[in-house]
Amino acid sequence: MKLSTRLSLAATLLAMASCQKKDDTIKIGLTGVQTGPDAAIGTAPINGSKLAIEEWNAKGGILGKKIEMVVRDDEGKPKTATAVAQELISAGVSAVVGHFNSGCSIPASEVYNQAGVLQITPASTNPQLTERGFQNTFRICGRDDQQGIVSAAFARDTLKTQVIAVLNDKTAYGQGIADVFKKTFETKGGKVAVFEGVGTEEKDFRGAIASIQKSGATAVYWAGMFVQGGILYNQLREAGFKGALLGGDGMFDNEFHKTTQGKADSVFLTFGPDYNAKPEAQEFLKKYRAKFGPEGSYSIYGYDAANVLLSAMAKAGTTDAKAVSQALRSQSWKTLGGDVSFDAKGDLTAAGYVIWTARGGKFVAR
């Protein structure tokens, strides 16, 4: 009995310690991968959102209250992501900007949906995320199928590729985008000669390249991230393969040019529209660099996601997820990339993927 008394005392103490003060702020959860190999690319949208929220707070907050950020690291792992989702809900967040990886967003969205918390992701592009009829799930980036379609159309119509090889990194992202690419390419009359997955740990593609060269493919589509993309490019050229390398937004990182010595040519990626021409974006980037250092590819998306979310809350006049999600769908919103609006699923009505190409150690819009 002594033991149990002691335990219940401990439990009471714990309960007292865990009691949270209720204060007059609106809490927004910011989450994504912040540790591990994807740390740099995953922290960028979170920093973008932070900047947006700080701007709102400087203007006096929203609905008469200050905005509080609750930042959590999902480590890029689905398991941690669902735990983080539960933590955010219990911390009392009204909405969440995140997660980064599709593999994290999908299971976490189940948790948010159950709890009636609104989620808007700046970077998860897997179609499955918005295909399950959740009213509270939004994304401010494109979808892999849109990406795959744009890429496949470009390969077929502009590059006139007849036979192509498709490699993916076996992640939810890679498989999804590869599947759509294959389907579109084939309906457009092309032939996918090689369709294979290699693990994310693979750094020697010579085995797959031998198959590609034998198959007679004149271009390769890489559905994966930039580190492996750079290695694949080098090894393709080493093996004497002269064709084009196509890819998705996962390849879009300056590290790609370091690996390829800035000499990459005929590399074609799908990514969002070119922000460099827009003065508002320039102003954002200046502020961002002053605060966080060099921006990542998704910094702007994080900023846009938070801004659109808060504007919708202001319009709805409440933080209630149902009202906010109705407000989000009701009109078009001004972002750094232009005006956007959401469809019934929570996707952008116009994804606006364009083809970028590598030139002189940089990606430039084509």
Partner 1 sequence: MKHRTPLFLTLLVLVLTAPLLWWTLEGDYSIGSVKLAFAPAHGLAFFLNLAPALALGALAFGLVKLRDRLPRFRMQGKIESFKEKPWAIPLVLLVLWLPGLFLGSKGLSQATFAAQYVILAVGLNITVGLAGILVLGYSAFLAIGAYSFAILQQWIWLPWWLALPVGFATSALIGWLVALPCLRLRGDYLALVSLGFAEAVRELLRNGGDLTGGDKGIVIQMTNRIHGIGPFSSQQVAWMGAATLALLSVAVVDRIYRSRLGRAWVAIREDEIAAGSMGIPVVRMKLLAFALSAGFAGLAGVLYGGFTVFVDPSVCTFEESVLVLAMVILGGLGSIPGSVAGAILLFLVPTWLRDWFPAMQDYRLLIFGMILVAVMLTNPQGLLGSRRHRLEIEEGKP
Partner 2 sequence: MVQVLINGLARGSVYALVALGYTMVYGILGMINFAHGEVFMLGMFGVVFALGLCTTLWGTSLALNLVVALVLAVLFAAGWGWANERIAYRKLRGANMLAPLSSAIGLSIVLQNFVMLAVTKGKVDFPHFYSDAFTKTHWTVLGARITLLQLTMLGTTAILCLGLWWLIQKTRIGISLRATSQDRLAASLMGIRVDRSIAGTFILGSALAAVAGAMVGMYQGVLAFDSGYSVGLKAFTAAVLGGIGNIPGAVLGGFLIGISEDLTSYWIGSDWKQTSTFVILILVLILRPRGLLGERVSDKV
| Nearest residue to 267 via CA among 361, 156, 146 | 361
Tokens of 352: 């606006």
**Residue 40 vs 350, nearer CB to partner 2:** 40
In angstroms, give the least distance from the CB of 362 to partner 1. 13
Q: Does 77 bind partner 2 (CB under 8 A)?
A: no
Residues 204-233 that bind partner 2 (CB under 8 A): 204, 206-208, 210-211, 213, 227, 230-231
Instruction: In whole angstroms, give the CA distance from residue 124 to residue 248.
Output: 13
| Nearest residue to 346 via CA among 366, 329, 322 | 329
Q: Does 15 bind partner 1 (CB under 8 A)?
A: yes
**Residue 14 vs 350, nearer CB to partner 1:** 14
Q: Please report how many Cα atoms fall inside a 13 Å half-sphere around the Cα of residue 113, on the Cβ side.
A: 15
Residues 159-178 that bind partner 1 (CB under 8 A): 170-172, 174-176
Number of residues located near partner 1, criterion CB under 8 A: 44
Q: Which of partner 1, partner 2, none does 86 bind, CB closer than 5 to 8 A by kind?
A: partner 1
- Classified as helix, coil or strand, 360 is coil
Rama region for 352: left / alpha / beta (φ>0; ψ in -120 to 50; rest): left
Instruction: In whole angstroms, give the CA distance from residue 261 to residue 257.
Output: 6
Residues 247-276 that bind partner 2 (CB under 8 A): 255, 258-259, 261
Give me the numbers of helices (H) and strands (E) for the chain, helices first please.
12, 14
**Strand order across the 362-365 sheet:** 191-197, 163-168, 219-223, 244-247, 267-271, 354-359, 362-365
Rama region for 252: left / alpha / beta (φ>0; ψ in -120 to 50; rest): beta
Q: Does 18 bind partner 1 (CB under 8 A)?
A: yes
Instruction: In whole angstroms, give the CA distance from residue 142 to residue 350.
Output: 8
In angstroms, give the least distance from the CB of 211 to partner 2. 6
What binding mask, one character per residue, do residues 165-194 give for partner 2 by CB under 8 A, x or -? Answer: --x--x------------------------
Q: Are 299 and 272 contacting, i.e. CB atoms less than 8 angstroms apart?
A: no
What binding mask, one character per residue, do residues 325-364 give for partner 1 by CB under 8 A, x or -? Answer: ------------------------------------x---
Binding footprint of partner 1 on the chain (CB under 8 A)? 3-4, 7-8, 10-12, 14-15, 18, 20, 35, 73, 77-79, 82-83, 86-87, 89-91, 103, 106-107, 110-111, 114, 126, 128, 170-172, 174-176, 197, 199, 257-258, 261-262, 361
Binding footprint of partner 2 on the chain (CB under 8 A)? 35-37, 39-40, 167, 170, 196-199, 201-204, 206-208, 210-211, 213, 227, 230-231, 234-235, 238-240, 255, 258-259, 261
